[in-house]
């Protein structure tokens, strides 16, 4: 083994790290409440003054927004994070169970393939000594003194076979290590992003109370959900790769069952190629998660609506100005 690392334990540590850091959200709640309180004062005062200046009735419903945001800030770990995590947790558990099922199948088929490959080589006397020490010793003992060259050839072939297997196992374990390291890298970055978003979440909610920063609230939710989806997407990607490996192992088992002389070198090479594809594919997970939910979608949508409204207002103003100028000109000509 290149490195005996329990990657599942490291992923569990990252889950524990997220839970341990959540109390820091309460520490930021006090600062956020001050920012939100000042923003709510200006928010309510501006709208009340605007209604009084226009001699209109004060619409109370929009004025409840800063108070609702303030309530979310006060109970941020429970109301906001607890709600989002409770909704998203079944997705994570579902994809994790899919991955566990495929991983167990892959281990079972790999053990069966190794057993069939060993039995196939043991049935052939010309290859049995390569994989079995007792058979090698027996064939060496049967050789006479005059067959020293044959014995030397058997030693060389056995040594070359062991070197070949050692190289194959080295590259397989190296790529599996890099594959697990890529998975751990994505999970670590995801945990870091979630912790930062969670700790500074109350501040983002507080800033959203101020005019001009309303989209901050929606943007925070979108980014948190998108980052949370990295783990389910990673599990789905690993499930697909595990399923491919299961199909390859099933094909190898079928070949060994129907053809005892089957050569599996090409299959082993294909397995290494898929491991390389998996390592590269892991770093596309944030992009795929962005396809599921757009972190900047609502903000872009709001800007598009505002631009359309401004253009419509400009056109309406131009038409109104032209109509007013035409009416004034006609009015003057009547009194000339």
The tokens 């109104």 sit on which residue?
A: 320
| More reliable by pLDDT, 305 or 68 | 68
CA distance 175 to 279: 8
CB 219 within 8 A of CB 296: yes
Residue 43 has pLDDT above 70, yes or no: yes
Angle at 127 between CA 123 and CA 132, to 5 degrees: 80
Write out pLDDT tens, residues 28-42.
777 888 888 888 888
Q: Which of 158-162, 206-210, 232-236, 301-305 has the lowest mean pLDDT?
A: 301-305
Number of structural domains the chain divides into:
1
Q: Give domain status of residue 72, yes or no.
A: yes
Q: Give domain status of residue 284, yes or no.
A: yes
Write out pLDDT tens, residues 176-201.
888 888 888 888 898 899 999 998 88
Q: Which two structure tokens, joined as six digits, stand for 290?
A: 């962005």
Q: Give domain status of residue 205, yes or no.
A: yes
Q: Residue 229: what pLDDT?
A: 92
Q: Residue 145: what pLDDT?
A: 55
Query: Residues of 75-105 as b/e, b for ≥16 C-beta within 10 angstroms?
Result: ebbeebbeebbeebeeebeebbebbeebeeb
Three-state SS string over 53-93 comes to HCCCCCCCHHHHHHHHHHHHHHCHHHHHHHHHHHHHHHHHH
Q: Give domain status of residue 124, yes or no.
A: yes
pTM of the model: 0.73
Residue 324 has pLDDT above 70, yes or no: no
List, in order, residues 6 or more apart from 28 with CB less than 8 Å away: 199, 200, 201, 202, 203
| More reliable by pLDDT, 334 or 234 | 234
List, in order, residues 6 or more apart from 235 with CB less than 8 Å away: 92, 95, 96, 98, 99
Q: Residue 225: what pLDDT?
A: 92
Q: Give domain status of residue 19, yes or no.
A: no
Q: Give domain status of residue 327, yes or no.
A: no
* pLDDT confidence bin for 303, thresholds 50/70/90: very low
**C-alpha dihedral over 244, 245, 251, 257, to 10 degrees?**
-160
Q: Residue 313: what pLDDT?
A: 35
Helix (H, G, I), strand (E, B) or coil at 1: coil
Per-residue CA distances from 188 to 17, 91, 158 (Å): 10, 19, 44
Q: Give domain status of residue 42, yes or no.
A: yes
Domain that holds residue 313: 26-318
Residue-averaged pLDDT of the chain: 77
Q: Residue 224: what pLDDT?
A: 92
* pLDDT confidence bin for 144, thresholds 50/70/90: low
Q: Give domain status of residue 7, yes or no.
A: no
The tokens 């309510």 sit on which residue?
A: 44
| CB-count burial class (<10 Å; 0-12, 13-18, 19+) for 247 | exposed
* pLDDT confidence bin for 11, thresholds 50/70/90: confident
Average pLDDT value for residue range 250-255: 83
* pLDDT confidence bin for 333, thresholds 50/70/90: very low
Per-residue CA distances from 109 to 103, 104, 115, 236, 305 (Å): 10, 9, 10, 20, 56
Helix (H) or strand (E) holding 21: helix 7-21
């Amino acid at each position: 083994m290149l490195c005996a690392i329990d990657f599942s334990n490291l992923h569990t540590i990252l889950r524990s790290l997220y839970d341990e850091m959540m109390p820091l959200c309460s520490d930021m709640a006090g600062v956020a409440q001050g920012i939100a309180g000042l923003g709510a004062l200006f928010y309510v005062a501006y709208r009340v003054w605007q209604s009084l200046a226009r001699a209109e009735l004060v619409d109370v419903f929009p004025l409840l927004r800063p108070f609702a945001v303030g309530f979310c800030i006060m109970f941020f770990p429970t109301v906001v994070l607890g709600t989002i995590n409770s909704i998203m947790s079944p997705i994570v558990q579902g994809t994790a169970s899919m991955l566990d099922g495929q991983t167990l199948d892959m281990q079972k088929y790999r053990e069966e393939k190794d057993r069939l490959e060993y039995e196939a080589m043991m049935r052939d006397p010309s290859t049995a000594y390569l994989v079995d020490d007792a058979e090698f010793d027996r064939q060496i003992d049967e050789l006479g003194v005059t067959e020293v060259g044959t014995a030397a050839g058997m030693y060389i072939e056995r040594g070359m076979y062991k070197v070949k297997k050692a190289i194959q196992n080295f590259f397989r374990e190296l790529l599996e290590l890099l594959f697990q390291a890529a998975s751990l890298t994505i999970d670590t970055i995801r945990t870091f992003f979630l912790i930062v978003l969670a700790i500074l979440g109350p501040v983002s909610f507080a800033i959203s109370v101020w005019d001009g920063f309303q989209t901050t609230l929606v943007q925070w939710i979108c980014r948190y959900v998108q980052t949370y989806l990295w783990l389910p997407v990673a599990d789905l990607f690993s499930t697909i790769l595990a399923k491919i490996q299961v199909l390859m192992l099933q094909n190898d088992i079928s070949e060994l069952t129907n053809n005892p002389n089957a050569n599996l070198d090409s299959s082993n090479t294909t397995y290494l190629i898929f491991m390389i594809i998996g390592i590269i594919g892991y770093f596309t997970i944030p992009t795929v998660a962005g396809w599921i939910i757009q972190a900047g979608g609502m903000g872009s949508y709001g800007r598009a609506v505002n631009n359309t409204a401004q253009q419509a207002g400009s056109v309406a103003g131009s038409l109104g100005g032209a109509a007013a100028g035409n009416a004034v000109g006609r009015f003057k000509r009547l009194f000339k």
